[in-house]
Amino acid sequence: MSTIIKATNVSKVYHRTTVPVHALNNLTLSIEEGEFTAIVGPSGCGKTTLLNILGGLDHPTSGKVEVAGTDITEMKDSDLIDFRLKNIGFVFQAYNLIPVLTALENVEFIMLLQKENKKVRHQRAMELLTQMDIADKAKNKPSQLSGGQQQRVAVARALASKPRFILADEPTANLDSSSTSNLLDLMARMNKDQKATFIFSTHDQRVMDKARRIVTLEDGTIVSDTTR
């Protein structure tokens, strides 16, 4: 397995108030291809900040992040948008589907941005919705889907662009236990079958139980890193 993400001595300091907040402190982390990694820790420990920096949504105050050998810390915002489109899939806590599009169109949308042709888009979107057990809701809009169903569409969308890895920030935080279990099983299956690399933040014990690697943060620093 090759290293997909290499974060070296990453620090992030917020200056939103008069007192600087050190969200990440000199953090170093590597993620290998095909991993199913949970970033865990109490609220405010820096999980979301770490995912944002790994996903190129935020810049570190210091340190370096390389994705597949490319340093993304010095990239311009406009280049990062293209980089994210080609390399990174996102699953958000609040699903964040486009409300005016159907489930199928939401999954197709990301491939449209990648300029895939219509036939390929449709075929792959349907395949992914089928794998996420939600093909029967393909024509439904997000408002007609439950939270669990919307999150499954969101995972399908994240996978649609064939990213190098998928970042999921608290993907089960808004789901009930049944939906959580269902979603995690599906994500684990995609990880196993499609060798999709998942990195997700959580403080949900059920999610941690499914993860093969658990990186624990406290006050912006890795306090443990275990692989099962």
Partner 1 sequence: MIASIAWRNVWRNKGRSLVVIGAMIVGIWSLAFGSGFMQSFLTGYIQSSIKHETSSGQVHHPGFQKDYDINFFIRDPKKLIDAIKSNSAVTSVTSRSIVNGMISSTRQATGVKIIGVEPATEASVTELNSLIHEGEYFEGISRNPVLIGDKLAEKLKVGVKAKVVLTFQDKEGNITAARFRVAGILKATSVSISESTVYVLKDDLNRLLQLDDNVHEIAYVTSTDADDDAIAHDLQSRFPEDKIESWRELSPILVFMEQWMASILKLLILIIMSALAFGIVNTMLMAVLERVRELGMLMALGMRRTKVFTMIMVETIYLSTVGGPVGLLVGYLTITYLGQAGIDLTDYSEGLEAIGYESILYPILQPGDYIQIVVGVILTAFLASLYPAWKAIKLKPIDALHTI
Residue 98 interacting with partner 1 (CB under 8 A): yes
Return the number of the residue (157 or 210) whose C-beta is nearest partner 1.
157
Kindly tell me which residue out of 109, 165, 198, 200 binds partner 1, with binding defined by CB under 8 A: 109
CB of 94 to partner 1, least distance (A): 7
CB of 88 to partner 1, least distance (A): 8
Residue 82 interacting with partner 1 (CB under 8 A): yes
Residue 216 interacting with partner 1 (CB under 8 A): no
From the list 11-19, 24-32, 95-103, 127-135, the region that binds partner 1 by CB under 8 A is 95-103
Residue 41 interacting with partner 1 (CB under 8 A): no
Residue 126 interacting with partner 1 (CB under 8 A): no
Residue 99 interacting with partner 1 (CB under 8 A): yes
Residue 118 burial class via C-beta count within 10 angstroms: exposed 0-12, middle 13-18, buried 19 and up: exposed
Residue 86 interacting with partner 1 (CB under 8 A): yes
Q: Which of residues 150-189 bind partner 1 (CB under 8 A)?
A: 157, 161
3-class SS string, the chain: CCEEEEEEEEEEEECCCCCCEEEEEEEEEEEECCCEEEEECCCCCCHHHHHHHHCCCCCCCEEEEEECCEECCCCCHHHHHHHHHHHEEEECCCCCCCCCCCHHHHHHHHHHHCCCCHHHHHHHHHHHHHHCCCHHHCCCCHHHCCHHHHHHHHHHHHHHCCCCEEEEECCCCCCCHHHHHHHHHHHHHHHHHCCCCEEEEECCHHHHHHCCEEEEEECCEEEEEEEC
- With a CB cutoff of 8 Å and minimum separation 6, the contacts of 72 are 56, 65, 66, 80, 83
Return the number of the residue (81 or 120) whose C-beta is nearest partner 1.
81
CB of 77 to partner 1, least distance (A): 8
Number of residues in contact with partner 1 under rule CB under 8 A: 28
* Distance separating alpha carbons of residues 99 and 108, to the nearest angstrom: 14
Residue 116 interacting with partner 1 (CB under 8 A): no
Kindly tell me which residue out of 81, 120, 208, 223 binds partner 1, with binding defined by CB under 8 A: 81
Note the residues at the interface with partner 1 (CB under 8 A): 52, 55, 57-58, 77-78, 81-82, 84-86, 90, 92, 94, 96, 98-101, 105, 108-110, 112-114, 157, 161
